[in-house]
Chains A and B, each alone.
Chain A
Amino acid sequence: MTKAPSCPSEFALERLRFGELSGSAQERLLVAHLEGCAECRQRQHAFAEAEPPRLDSAAIWSRASAGHRITQPSWWHRRPMRWYAIAAAGVTAAAVFAWLAPRRVPDTLTKGSAAQLRVIAKLHNGPVMRIEPGAQLSPGDRLRFEVFTHLPEASIALIMLDSAGAVTRLAPREGPSVSIVGQRPVLLDEAVELDGALGGERIVLVSCSHAVDVNEVVAKARRALADVGGDPHRVDRLGTGCDEEAFSITKVEP
Chain B
Amino acid sequence: MEDVYRRYGAMVLRRARRILADDQLAHDACQDVFVQLLRLGQGWKTPSQVGWLFRTTTNCCLNLIRGTRRRQRFLGMLPPPPVVTPSLPVQLLLRGLPEHLQEIAIYYGLDQMTQQEIALVLGLCQKTVSNRIGELRAWFDEAETAPREKQQ
Contacts and interface: CB of A to CB of B under 8 A. Distances in A.
Interface of A: 3, 5, 9-12, 14-15, 18, 20, 47, 50-53, 55-57, 59-61, 63-64, 68, 70-73, 77-79, 118, 146, 148, 184-185
Given A70-B36, A73-B67, A77-B81, A9 B117 contact: yes
A118 B27 CA distance: 27
Nearest to B39: A64
A72 B59 CA distance: 11
Given A47-B11, A73-B67, A55 B2 contact: yes
A60 B6 contact: no
Given A60-B35, A64-B38, A70-B60, A14 B50 contact: yes
Interface string B2-25: 110111111101100000000010
Contact of A118 (B3, B50, B81): B3
B6 A79 contact: no
19 contacts: A9-B113, A10-B111, A11-B121, A12-B113, A15-B50, A20-B50, A47-B10, A50-B10, A50-B11, A50-B13, A52-B9, A53-B10, A57-B2, A60-B31, A63-B31, A71-B67, A73-B67, A77-B82, A185-B6
Contacts of B67: 71-73
Contacts of B117: 9, 11-12
Contacts of A15: 48, 50-51
Nearest to B11: A14
B90 interface: no
A52 B50 contact: no
A210 to B, nearest CB: 26
Q: Which 10 A-B pairs have the closest CB atoms?
A: A52-B9, A50-B10, A64-B38, A71-B63, A52-B10, A70-B32, A9-B113, A63-B35, A64-B35, A53-B13
A145 to B, nearest CB: 14
A140 to B, nearest CB: 20
Given A14-B11, A70-B35, 12 more contacts: A11-B51, A12-B113, A12-B114, A50-B10, A52-B6, A53-B10, A55-B2, A56-B31, A57-B2, A61-B38, A70-B32, A77-B81
B105 interface: no
B112 interface: yes
B30 A53 contact: yes
Contact of B63 (A61, A64, A70): A70
Nearest to B60: A70
Interface string B26-50: 0110111011101100000000111
Interface of B: 1-3, 5-11, 13-14, 24, 27-28, 30-32, 34-36, 38-39, 48-51, 54, 59-60, 63-64, 67, 81-82, 111-114, 117, 121
Contacts of A51: 10
Contacts of B3: 118
Given A11-B121, A53-B9, A3 B112 contact: yes
Nearest to B116: A26
A52 B38 CA distance: 17
Contact of A52 (B5, B112, B113): B5
A83 to B, nearest CB: 11
A148 B6 contact: yes
Contacts of B14: 47, 50
Given A3-B112, A70-B32, A11 B10 contact: no
